[in-house]
Amino acid sequence: MGQEINGFHHHLNGDAPPLPGGDRPDLLVLRPGLLFKVFEQEFLSKFNVLKAFESPFPLDKYLRDHAQSARAILCEAIVTRITADLLLQLPALQLVVADGTGVNHIDLVECHRRGISVTNTGDVFSEDTADYGVGLLIDVLRRISRADAFVRRGSWPLTAEFPVGRKVRGKRVGIVGLGNIGTKLAKRLEAFGCIVSYNSRTKKQSAAYDFYPTVVDLASQSDILIICCSLTEKTRHIINAEVLNALGKNGILINIGRGPIVDEETLVNYLLNGNIAGAAMDVYENEPRVPSELFRLDNVVLSPHRGAFTQEAFFDAFKIVMGNLDAFFSNTYLLTPVTTNE
C-alpha cells in the first residue's frame, strides 16, 4: 500500500486486514492534519472515520448527531483544539489522541475531570527536532540560506561582496527547557564545541551544564538562546522584552518550541531596530501567519513548522497513534498516555 502527499511516500507491509464495516469503531476527526491526510486509507481500513470536516451541516449539529458514538477523537495541534466547550458536546468521548508530542491544544484538566484519556506520540520527534535546532543555529550564524539565495539570483558573478558569518564553536548557548529535545540538542551542541547552559522548571541532577533559575539570567549569559520548552500558561510570552534585553544586541534567538512562548510583536520590533543580532524560527504565534516585516530581514531564518518531521519519524508517529487507538478499542494499556502534570 502506498501513497504520496506533501513529499511523503510510504509503503506499509503487513497491514491489518480491514474489519467488517459494521464492526469498525468510530473515530472522530474534526479537521484533517497532515498525519491523517498521509495515512487516510489506513485509518479508513480500520475505523469508521467520522469526517466532521466533510459534513454540509454546522459542526454543532454534526456533533449532536454523533454524540453517543464518538468515543475517540484524533486531533492535530494546528487544526484542532480540544476545549471544555467541545468536550461538553461529546458526552461519550473517552479518548483524545494527539498526532504529535505537544498537547497544549488539549484541555488536560477537563479531560482528567471527565475521565477522558489523552495520548501523544511520546518522544518520537525529539531526535529530529534537535537536529533541526542545530541546523537553524548553523544557518543563522553562517548565513547558509542567504548564501544560497545570493548564488541562485546570480549575484556572485556581479559582486564578490557577501557578508561573512559568525563562528559556531565557542558560542555560549542557553537552552530553555532541558527535556527530551533540549537534552538531545545539548549533546549535539557540545560536539560543535559550544558552551551549553540551561533553564528548566527544576535543576536536572543528571545534567552537567550550568543551570540558571530564570530565563533572564540564562539570556544574560548566552550568545544564543534556544527555546525547547513546552507551551503552558506559565511559559506563554516567557520570552519578552526583559529577556531580549538580557540577550543583548549581539544575541540570537532560536525557537523550535511553540510560537506563543515568544512575545512575537516585541521580537519583531527588536529585530527591526537592531536590538538583537538575529533569529531563526520554526514556529510562530499565529501559524501559519508570519509577520511580513521579517521577510525583508537578512539576519532571520524562517521555517514552516517542519522541524520535527522526517519521513522516518512521521511513520513512527503513525504507528504510535494507531497503537494507542488499537489499545483503547481492545481495552488494553495505552502506549503513550499523557497526565495533567506533564
60-70: pLDDT as tens digits = 999 999 999 99
Any idea what the CATH number is for the domain that residue 45 is in?
Answer: 3.40.50.720
Question: Same domain for 17 and 37?
Answer: yes
Q: pLDDT value at position 4?
A: 47
- Which residues are designated catalytic? 258, 287, 305
Residue 340 belongs to some domain of the structure? no
Cα distance between residue 342 and residue 331, in whole Å:
24
Do 73 and 184 lie in one domain? The reply is: no
Question: Do 248 and 153 fall within a single domain?
Answer: yes
Let me know whether 186 and 276 are in one domain. yes
C-alpha–C-alpha distance, residues 13 and 5, integer Å: 19
Measured from the Cβ of residue 131, the count of other Cβ atoms closer than 10 Å reads: 16
> Same structural domain for residues 271 and 322?
no
- Examine the domain organization and report whether 148 and 40 are in the same domain: no
Counted domains in the chain: 2
HEC profile of the chain:
CEEEECCEEEECCCCCCCCCHHHCCEEEECCCCHHHHHCHHHHHHHCEEEEHHHCCCCHHHHHHHCCCCCCEEEECCCCCCECHHHHHCCCCCCEEEECCCCCCCECHHHHHHHCCEEECCCCCCHHHHHHHHHHHHHHHHHCHHHHHHHHHCCCCCCCCCCCCCCCCCCCEEEEECCCHHHHHHHHHHHHCCCEEEEECCCCCCCCCCEECCCHHHHHHCCCEEEECCCCCCCCCCCECHHHHHHHCCCCEEEECCCHHHECHHHHHHHHHCCCCCEEEECCCCECCECCHHHHHCCCEEECCCCCCCCHHHHHHHHHHHHHHHHHHHCCCCCCCECCCCC
> CA angle, 144 as apex, 142 and 148 as ends, to 5°?
150
Beta bridge partners of 289: 286
Does residue 50 lie in a domain region? yes
For residue 129, give the C-alpha cell. Answer: 527536532
pLDDT tens-digit profile of 71-90? 999 998 777 899 999 999 99
Show pLDDT as tens, one digit a residue, over the chain (342 residues). Answer: 344 445 544 444 434 444 444 578 999 999 998 899 999 999 999 999 999 999 999 999 999 999 999 999 999 877 789 999 999 999 999 999 999 888 888 999 999 999 999 999 999 999 999 999 999 999 999 999 999 999 999 999 998 789 999 999 999 999 999 999 999 999 999 999 999 999 999 999 999 999 999 999 999 999 999 999 999 899 999 999 999 999 999 999 999 999 999 999 999 999 999 999 999 999 999 999 999 999 999 999 999 999 998 999 999 999 999 999 999 999 999 999 998 654
Range of the domain at 37: 2-124+310-329
From CA 150, how far away is CA 296, in angstroms rounded? 14
Q: Note whether residue 334 is domain-resident.
A: no
pLDDT at position 22 is 54
- In angstroms, the first-to-last Cα distance of the chain is 36
Same domain, 119 and 211: no
> Are residues 109 and 12 located together in one domain of the fold?
yes
Domain assignment present for 337: no
**In-domain check, residue 61:** yes
The whole-angstrom separation of Cα 94 and Cα 328 is 9
Task: Please check whether residue 76 is in contact with residue 33, taking contact to mean a CB–CB distance below 8 angstroms.
Answer: yes
Instruction: Tell me, yes or no, whether 81 and 216 share the same domain.
Output: no
Residue 67 is assigned to a structural domain of this protein: yes
In this prediction, residue 13 carries a pLDDT of 40
In one-letter notation, the amino acid at residue 20 is P
**Domain check: are 160 and 244 in the same one?**
yes
In a domain, 336, yes or no: no
Residues 76 and 160 occupy one common structural domain? no
Does 339 map to a domain?
A: no
In terms of domains, do 51 and 168 share one? no
**Triad 37, 39, 42: Cα angle to 5°:** 135
